Structure 1
Amino acid sequence: MSTPSATVTATTQATHPPTELEIRRVFAGLVIVLALGAIDQSIVATALPRIVSDLGGISHLSWVVTSYVLASTATMPLYGKLSDQYGRKPVLYFAIFMFLLGSVLCGAARNLVELIVFRAIQGIGAGGLLPLAQIIIGDMVPPTQRGKRQGVVAGIFALCSVVGPVIGGVITDVLSWHWIFFVNLPVGAVAFVIISRTLRQYTPLHARRIDYLGSLLMTTCTIALLLVLTLGGGEWPWLSMPIIALSAFALVTGVMFVRHVKHEPEPVLPLDLFHNRLFVIASIVMALTFMGLMGASLFFPLFFQLVMGVSPARSGVLTGPMMMGIALSALFNGRVLMRAGRYKPTVVAGLAVATMSFGVLAWSAATAQSLYIIEPSIFVLGLGLGLVMPNVTIAVQSALAPIHRGVGTATLTFFRSLGGLVGVAGSGAILAWQLRGHVAATMPTAAMTPEGGGMANHPLLHQVTNAAVMVYRHAIASTFTVGACIVACAFVLILLLPEVPLSDHHHAAPAPAAD
């Protein structure tokens, strides 16, 4: 239910739409911001071996990535709510500043503990880059034209995932691993200047009241849940006491958070969002899509190297077609398909294509098909997924009131990241279970411990190698099968998605603030 002030603001908004030139200038700055956040993970992953050789602490190496992911995912909904209360521009300033501050500190880290802490600081900033960029696009661009920009967003992420490892390797070899962080400074400064000169400061539609207790409860609950997903089955067994304690803590703080927001006049995450059928379905679909995608694609390099026998460098190239497919279909969707003003048919088609592609991949992996079948399937999988992500975001932004657009978009992004983490944790558990179940049955014990230590010339060596390949083949094929089932669930659910008519004119954008 809108308030009178919100109605007045909405009326003013319609009379002050941004010009196309203004949109292009702002979008140029947002593209740089998105590239900063998208490329960071792949660049850092490439430099991890060099970081370990300099700083040591290989047993805690995974926390260089984990601390960043935890911080960025947990803060996403907060950025959306704060941008609704204080406007997009100052909150985006804060996100860029924190990202650059974390980059400087990471580059100057003297040991692995410092690097892990500084990566968390960098992650706090990164948590706002993607959702705020999508929110600003939703503010400035009419719904029917929004697909073109959202398609570019998907294309940027796909491109960065491909070129990131290359750039990271070059910087690490030519300069040092410190510069993979320092290089963010000039790029971020350019984005900061462009946004400061082009993006309007808008009048917030919310009262400036911060829900401190709700923010604390939501953040601690989210971090505890993410720690369970990240550490369970790896650092600690799923039924170990630390995992059980973290799960209980997440449950308790989650219940406390729900009870709190029911009585808070300005909650950090309004429960009204979950009364919107479109938002609920879209959030679940986004989570399921990324659960299947991340859970299966995580093992593409492992499959190519251990099962297909290709080199690590070539395995990275072989996963590229999926990102190319995502980029191409997202761009085509925004420039052609979205002109009709409908998003549901495209999402349905995208999920149907992705489900079939996953099924073909599972069959190909299990039956030892050639790359001539596997590679087109990976490319078509990308084509299908590229039609899902931008359109679901547009659907949510079109269904929510302006006062909830920021927090709604950021929460959708949060569910996307959460789904990806669940997918990674779940697929890892499935792979481990499959390996444990097949190893004893397929690998001869004598082959594992040949007498006399003559492993090089032992007659069972080739049987062991072939048995191991078969074990990994079927185990990874099972993760592809699960991925297909998860995306199929998203396909069935998307059929229930309501379709809100998209307008071809600008409306309900934030009004310019009075000087």
Structure 2
Amino acid sequence: MPHQQTNRKMVTLGLLAALFIGALDVTVVSTAMPHIINDLSGLSLVSWVFSIYTLTTCVATPIFGKLTDLFGRRSVFTIGLILFVLGSILCGAAQSMTALIWFRALQGIGAGALTPVTFTIIGDLYPGEQRGKMQGVFASVWSVAGLLGPLVGGYFVDYVNWRWIFYMNIPIGIVSFFLVFVFLREQFEKKAKSIDYGGAAAFTIGISALLYALLSGGERYPWTSATILGLFVVAAAALILFVWIEKHAKEPMIPLSIFRNRVMNVSNISGFLAFSVSTGTSIYAPMWIQTLLGFSATASGLMVMPMSIAWPVAANLAGRYMYRIGAKKIVIFGALVVLLGGVWLTALTLQSPYWFLVGILTVIGFGMGCVSTPATVLVQSVVGWQQRGVATAANSLMRSLGQTVGVAVFGTLFNSYLVEHTPAEIAGGIHAVFLAIFIIAVLNTVAVCFLPAQRQIVEMQKANES
């Protein structure tokens, strides 16, 4: 085992704290944005405060994942946490919207280490059935942060200052740093390491170009513009070069061998599809109830809360029982529940009551909890310690890409229905998105059926635990 004399309780608390501030930062900024705009101006740049964070997190995630396998978990986690806290300090001190965007980029790089490395350390510290339970607990942090984010952000904006939504990360970050750095012990083989600089550069260029195209297409630039098409060409060329480099690198950033593992492939495809479903639902269901049914923003916000509650409940149940019932059965059950929510979405009409949407979000949230947690545990269980970091990071990246691609596809589909922005056009556009969500849910259900039988999964787990 790579960990000896580690105080698991203290390290777990430190990891929870780090994951919490990383997750909270995603939602808390939205609440404060009107006040940030008043102070810093730059309304036209607002979307990039969120987009740049997504972009740098996606790029950094697999790079940090590989570094944890090369240099150990503690050092890479520490670097990520320091970058995140430093980014938070600079964001709080920003004097212009442009500066805030650059500092959010630094924050995103730090977040690219916090999430995958945190889940990797948990995968190291807790074996077998305990790992499932703990991954369920840690998955719940995102939902708790989603519920608390608007409240915390609202409090600081109303009673203190919007800058404190960033400054509050400092004390929590210091506590997390102390608990993990002091109490996490690693025995690590000291030998010369070969860093895949070429692969990292090609991946960074390819993913950055792809995400910039997806985040800008249809809004800043038309999809058929030379800029967007050029970005897609650059992305394709860089990613093809990346694959070539990985085939020949001594220590590849993402070993292509992990993609010969059926559990990895199915989990990554499912992560991409399922997280595009959850993102599309959480964006367009509130839009339906606000724009078409005339409910307030508060009512719309309250409608999303059951999804944030059902997800962690299911994640904890799935983590607790996946070894008794079988991971494949739980994942397929979760995919079917998400599909049920997708069917219900397509049946919505303008006469549908408010509770229909609450029910749909609850169903999809519960299904997502059953899909996501077992998938994380499976990915970590079917690879050895030396590849656990990069495998976890690759799975996180595919989920993030699913969200980003989903937003781009759904947005393009929705906008294609809008000519005069009449209620009928808006309803048609949202309904088209719901139909697309249903189709993706079907594909996700088909994908998870290709997971190996439980007996094969257990054999792979035993081989990697020994």
Q: Name the aligned partner's letter for residue 347 of structure 1.
A: V
Matches within 5 A, 1:162-311: 162-204=147-189, 208-311=193-296
Report how far residue 509 of structure 1 moved: 6.9
After superposition, the Cα gap between the structure-2 partners of 1:485 and 1:504, relative to the gap in structure 1 and judged at 3 Å, is closer
Q: Which moved more, 1:171-180 or 1:75-84?
A: 171-180
Deviations 1:3-43 (A, max 9, x none): xxxxxxxxxx29x7777xx3222111111111011010111
After superposition, the Cα gap between the structure-2 partners of 1:23 and 1:501, relative to the gap in structure 1 and judged at 3 Å, is farther
Find out whether 1:357 has 2:341 as its counterpart.
Answer: yes
Q: Give aligned pairs, total.
A: 464
After superposition, the Cα gap between the structure-2 partners of 1:470 and 1:202, relative to the gap in structure 1 and judged at 3 Å, is farther
After superposition, the Cα gap between the structure-2 partners of 1:105 and 1:199, relative to the gap in structure 1 and judged at 3 Å, is same
Q: Name the aligned partner's letter for residue 405 of structure 1.
A: R
Q: Name the aligned partner's letter for residue 429 of structure 2.
A: A
Distance 1:411 1:187 in 2: 27
After superposition, the Cα gap between the structure-2 partners of 1:183 and 1:262, relative to the gap in structure 1 and judged at 3 Å, is same
Report how far residue 341 of structure 1 moved: 6.6
In the alignment, which residue of structure 1 is the partner of 2:123?
Answer: 138
Find out whether 1:54 has 2:39 as its counterpart.
Answer: yes
Report how far residue 300 of structure 1 moved: 2.4
Distance 1:378 1:122 in 2: 30
Report how far residue 479 of structure 1 moved: 1.1
Instruction: Name the SS for the 1:150 alignment partner.
Output: helix
Q: Name the aligned partner's letter for residue 351 of structure 1.
A: A
Q: Name the aligned partner's letter for residue 161 of structure 2.
A: S
Structure number with greater CO (CA < 8 Å, separation at least 6) is: 1
Which structure has the larger Rg over C-alpha atoms?
Answer: 1
Distance 2:196 2:404 in 1: 27
After superposition, the Cα gap between the structure-2 partners of 1:382 and 1:256, relative to the gap in structure 1 and judged at 3 Å, is same
Deviations 1:341-378 (A, max 9, x none): 721100000000110112102212x3531023221221
Structure 2 residue runs of 5 or longer lacking an equivalent are none
Q: Which moved more, 1:241-250 or 1:87-96?
A: 241-250
Q: Name the aligned partner's letter for residue 331 of structure 2.
A: V
Report the TM-score when normalising by structure 2: 0.95
Q: Name the aligned partner's letter for residue 414 of structure 2.
A: L
Matches within 5 A, 1:429-468: 429-436=412-419, 439=420, 468=422
Distance 1:78 1:341 in 2: 35
Q: Name the aligned partner's letter for residue 344 of structure 1.
A: K
Distance 1:194 1:289 in 2: 34
Q: Which moved more, 1:473-482 or 1:64-73?
A: 473-482
In the alignment, which residue of structure 2 is the partner of 1:147?
Answer: 132
Contact 1:143 1:504 in 2 (8 A): no
After superposition, the Cα gap between the structure-2 partners of 1:491 and 1:412, relative to the gap in structure 1 and judged at 3 Å, is same
Report how far residue 391 of structure 1 moved: 0.5
Q: Which moved more, 1:83-92 or 1:402-411?
A: 402-411
In the alignment, which residue of structure 2 is the partner of 1:393?
Answer: 376
Instruction: Name the SS for the 1:368 alignment partner.
Output: coil
Q: Name the aligned partner's letter for residue 81 of structure 2.
A: I
Q: Which moved more, 1:368-377 or 1:254-263?
A: 368-377
Report how far residue 276 of structure 1 moved: 1.4
Q: Name the aligned partner's letter for residue 225 of structure 1.
A: L
Structure 1 residue runs of 5 or longer lacking an equivalent are 1-12, 444-467, 511-515
Find out whether 1:472 has 2:457 as its counterpart.
Answer: no
Contact 2:382 2:461 in 1 (8 A): no
Find out whether 1:376 has 2:330 as its counterpart.
Answer: no
After superposition, the Cα gap between the structure-2 partners of 1:46 and 1:204, relative to the gap in structure 1 and judged at 3 Å, is farther
Find out whether 1:347 has 2:331 as its counterpart.
Answer: yes
Distance 1:507 1:187 in 2: 38
In the alignment, which residue of structure 2 is the partner of 1:413?
Answer: 396
Distance 1:124 1:173 in 2: 29
Deviations 1:473-512 (A, max 9, x none): 23212212211110210110110111444489999579xx
After superposition, the Cα gap between the structure-2 partners of 1:363 and 1:66, relative to the gap in structure 1 and judged at 3 Å, is same
Distance 2:365 2:190 in 1: 38
Q: Select the residue among 106, 113, 130 that pairs with 1:128.
A: 113
Report the TM-score when normalising by structure 1: 0.86
Matches within 5 A, 1:18-57: 22-57=7-42
- Kindly report the root-mean-square deviation, in angstroms, between the aligned alpha carbons of the 2 structures: 2.1
Distance 2:325 2:130 in 1: 9
In the alignment, which residue of structure 2 is the partner of 1:10?
Answer: none
Report how far residue 471 of structure 1 moved: 2.7
Report how far residue 154 of structure 1 moved: 1.8
Contact 1:17 1:506 in 2 (8 A): no
Instruction: Name the SS for the 1:435 alignment partner.
Output: coil
Distance 2:148 2:399 in 1: 23
Report how far residue 401 of structure 1 moved: 2.2
After superposition, the Cα gap between the structure-2 partners of 1:84 and 1:505, relative to the gap in structure 1 and judged at 3 Å, is closer
Distance 2:181 2:200 in 1: 28
Q: Name the aligned partner's letter for residue 289 of structure 1.
A: A
Report how far residue 307 of structure 1 moved: 1.3
Distance 1:503 1:147 in 2: 17
Q: Name the aligned partner's letter for residue 353 of structure 1.
A: V
Q: Name the aligned partner's letter for residue 491 of structure 1.
A: T
Contact 1:142 1:503 in 2 (8 A): no
After superposition, the Cα gap between the structure-2 partners of 1:206 and 1:326, relative to the gap in structure 1 and judged at 3 Å, is farther
After superposition, the Cα gap between the structure-2 partners of 1:215 and 1:209, relative to the gap in structure 1 and judged at 3 Å, is same
Distance 1:426 1:232 in 2: 10
Distance 1:309 1:81 in 2: 48
Distance 1:18 1:307 in 2: 58
Q: Identity, % of aligned pairs?
A: 35
Contact 2:340 2:363 in 1 (8 A): no
Deviations 1:145-172 (A, max 9, x none): 2111111122110111121011111111
In the alignment, which residue of structure 2 is the partner of 1:459?
Answer: none
Distance 1:395 1:26 in 2: 22
In the alignment, which residue of structure 2 is the partner of 1:450?
Answer: none
In the alignment, which residue of structure 1 is the partner of 2:451?
Answer: 497
Contact 2:217 2:228 in 1 (8 A): yes
Instruction: Name the SS for the 1:496 alignment partner.
Output: coil
After superposition, the Cα gap between the structure-2 partners of 1:425 and 1:504, relative to the gap in structure 1 and judged at 3 Å, is closer
Q: Select the residue among 70, 77, 82 that pairs with 1:97.
A: 82
Q: Which moved more, 1:202-211 or 1:480-489?
A: 202-211
